[in-house]
């Protein structure tokens, strides 16, 4: 398979001279993986433009999700282009240029996460972050033969992300395989109290039954694209070959919910998110983004309440659908458009690309877009699997089975798919615990974690609120960490491990006094379970806080 697109400099807004990331242990979950960041997500000391130069600012901190990925060993390569303020599904609404499709440069890449999808599809990075409010993490995946994982709302923190519509925004993941996307998801997820929409979710890790039920819209519109229509018929057949039983579902209420995103007072949320900038510098916003954002001004508070009630009523109306199906199957995008055609009719054609995406976040669903086939004209066709909130892992498991059944190469690279990998883990609930001493990787008690099925999530630091002591007379040698008053602490190196909740009790039972388990605040502001120490045991203990961690202290001896 040939990639007919030349290298697209418009895919990048900022390329880093050197990869951004800390030295990571070789067994860190994402060690050595290179990633790109959509330029509405903060990377410290790098301008965030949201594809609007006049809006640009330089953050002093990484976005929460970026911090987690760097802590897990990933290396950031740069910031990618997007439809301005993440307002679009086509990839042409940017002063930095239109991002072409990775298979044919005459066609759109999809948006708004256009650059992120392109650099993954062409093999420039291993994965990329996008955002998804109305489909921006799925449409570019479907049009470029890659995976687009749109998590359940609130599963990944949006702190440090320029908002589009905060109640519907999701940070999304692009990768060439489902396995990589899930690997990134597991490293990035976590409750963040500083994000108003973050929430603690228990993910359903049970696979779909061998005979599962999949819903297909009873009315399908491919906007005259016969090749896309045939590709979706083949997708239905593939789902049936995987054990699926088709059931047509009424699409009208889903389409009605989708229409509320831009054609009701819900659009006021987009205006509110950027109100100060739009009111002061409206002329710096390009069309049609300017009209969409400014259009939010005309709605009253009562209008917004009415729209929210309509959405809740539709959600109630649609809910019984899930009693008859386990998963929905829809085209990721119903057709392809050329860049020229999109620029001539930017509103209608953009709306068409979102025909099967806009309702998903509004109704609180999880989704994953996976490659499905190559059309006779050489353009990719993708499908999206959708299920209720919390179904992220089981969707990924089914999505991986589907993707590998296609026999397609990875993105536009021509490279074959690697063997599939387990994405469900051992199933069930898990607990994250921060370890600071003898349980670190390579230390004497690490086996107490690994024998319980725990996996390393990140090597990171605590907030600068702790002091570390070498406890006298402990075998093997152990530290004790205590929280101290503001301004008196240090950031202490820790590892965060994830353990099946079923084994957590037996692990805690092994912890001897004066150590115990408490709540630890990490450098990114999130909290996990972690080792704490009874202050009574610190008499005669050596304060080793200046070493920054137990491993450095041991090395100094």
Which of 5, 38, 114, 478 is the catalytic position?
38
Burial of 347 from C-beta contacts in 10 A (0-12 / 13-18 / 19+): middle
Which of 5, 102, 109, 112 is the catalytic position?
112
Q: How many CA atoms lie within 13 A of 354 on its CB side?
A: 31
CA distances to 140, 154, 309, 469 from 257, rounded to whole Å, are: 22, 20, 11, 57
CA angle 123, 124, 126 (to 5 degrees): 70
Q: Cα 394 to the chain's mean position, in Å? A: 16
Paired strand residues for 458: 496
Active site residue 136: yes
Angle between helices 392-406 and 178-188 (to 10 degrees): 160
Active site residue 116: no
- Using CA atoms, how far apart are residues 259 and 243, in angstroms rounded to an integer? 33
Active site residue 38: yes
Residue 36, SS3 per DSSP: strand
Residues 6+ apart with CB under 8 A from 383: 142, 232, 235, 329, 330, 331, 332, 369, 370, 372, 402
Neighbours of 486 (CB within 10 A): 7
Which of 10, 102, 136, 369 is the catalytic position?
136
Contact (Cβ atoms closer than 8 angstroms) between residue 437 and residue 479: yes
**Where in 424-501 does DSSP place strands (E)?**
430-435, 455-461, 466-470, 479-483, 493-500
- Using CA atoms, how far apart are residues 385 and 395, in angstroms rounded to an integer? 7
CA angle 246, 247, 248 (to 5 degrees): 125
User: Quick one: tokens of 260?
Assistant: 């509320």
Q: What is the dihedral of CA 363, 527, 505, 28, to 10 degrees?
A: 90
Q: With CA atoms as reference, report the closest residue to 530 among 557, 477, 503, 492.
A: 492
- Using CA atoms, how far apart are residues 522 and 545, in angstroms rounded to an integer? 16
The kind and range of the H/E element at 244 are: strand 244-249
Residue 371, SS3 per DSSP: strand
Mind telling me the catalytic residues?
38, 112, 136
């Amino acid at each position: 398979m040939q990639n007919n697109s030349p290298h697209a400099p418009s895919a990048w807004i900022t390329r880093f001279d050197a990869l951004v990331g800390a030295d990571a242990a070789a067994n860190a979950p994402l060690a050595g993986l290179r990633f790109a960041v959509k330029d509405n997500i903060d990377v410290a000391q790098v301008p965030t433009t949201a594809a609007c130069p006049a809006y640009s600012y330089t953050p002093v901190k990484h976005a929460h999700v970026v911090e987690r990925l760097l802590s897990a060993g990933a290396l950031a390569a740069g910031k990618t282009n997007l439809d301005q303020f993440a307002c679009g599904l086509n990839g042409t609404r940017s002063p930095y240029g239109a991002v072409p499709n990775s298979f044919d440069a005459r066609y759109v890449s999809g948006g708004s996460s256009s650059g992120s999808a392109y650099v993954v599809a062409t093999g420039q990075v291993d994965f990329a972050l996008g955002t998804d409010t109305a489909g921006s993490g799925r449409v570019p995946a479907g049009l470029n033969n890659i995976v687009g994982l749109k998590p359940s709302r609130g599963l990944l923190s949006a702190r440090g992300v320029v908002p589009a519509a905060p109640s519907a925004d999701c940070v999304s993941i692009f990768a060439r395989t489902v396995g990589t996307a899930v690997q990134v998801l597991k490293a990035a997820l976590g409750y963040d109290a500083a994000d108003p929409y973050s929430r603690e979710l228990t993910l359903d890790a049970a696979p779909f039954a061998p005979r599962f039920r999949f819903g297909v819209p009873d009315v399908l519109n491919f906007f005259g694209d016969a090749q896309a229509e045939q590709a979706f018929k083949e997708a239905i057949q593939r789902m049936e070959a995987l054990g699926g039983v088709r059931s047509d579902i009424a699409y009208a209420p889903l389409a009605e919910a989708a229409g509320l995103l831009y054609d009701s007072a819900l659009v006021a949320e987009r205006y509110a998110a950027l109100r100060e900038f739009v009111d002061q510098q409206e002329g710096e916003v390009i069309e049609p983004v300017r009209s969409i954002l400014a259009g939010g001004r005309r709605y009253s508070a009562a209008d917004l309440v009415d729209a929210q009630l309509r959405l809740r009523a539709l959600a109630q109306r649609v809910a019984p659908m899930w009693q008859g199906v386990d998963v929905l199957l829809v085209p990721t995008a119903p057709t392809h458009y050329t860049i020229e055609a999109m620029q001539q009719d930017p509103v209608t054609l953009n709306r068409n690309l979102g025909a099967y995406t806009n309702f998903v976040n509004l109704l609180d669903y999880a989704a994953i877009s996976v490659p499905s086939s190559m059309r006779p004209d050489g353009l990719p066709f993708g499908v999206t699997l959708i299920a209720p909130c919390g179904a992220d892992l089981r969707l990924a498991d089914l999505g991986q089975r589907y993707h590998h059944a296609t026999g397609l190469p990875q993105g536009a690279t021509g490279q074959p798919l690697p063997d599939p990998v387990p994405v469900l883990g051992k199933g069930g609930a898990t607990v994250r615990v921060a370890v600071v001493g003898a349980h670190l990787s390579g230390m004497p008690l690490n086996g107490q974690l690994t024998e319980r099925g725990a996996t390393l999530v990140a090597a990171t630091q605590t907030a600068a609120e702790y002091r570390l002591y070498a406890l006298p007379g402990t075998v093997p040698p152990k530290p004790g960490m205590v929280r101290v008053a503001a301004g008196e602490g240090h950031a202490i190196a820790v590892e965060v491990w994830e353990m099946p909740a079923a084994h957590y009790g037996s692990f805690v039972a092994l912890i001897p006094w004066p150590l115990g388990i408490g709540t630890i605040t990490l450098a990114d502001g999130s909290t996990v379970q972690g080792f704490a120490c009874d202050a009574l045991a610190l008499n005669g203990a050596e304060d080793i806080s200046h070493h920054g961690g137990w491993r450095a202290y041991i090395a100094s001896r």
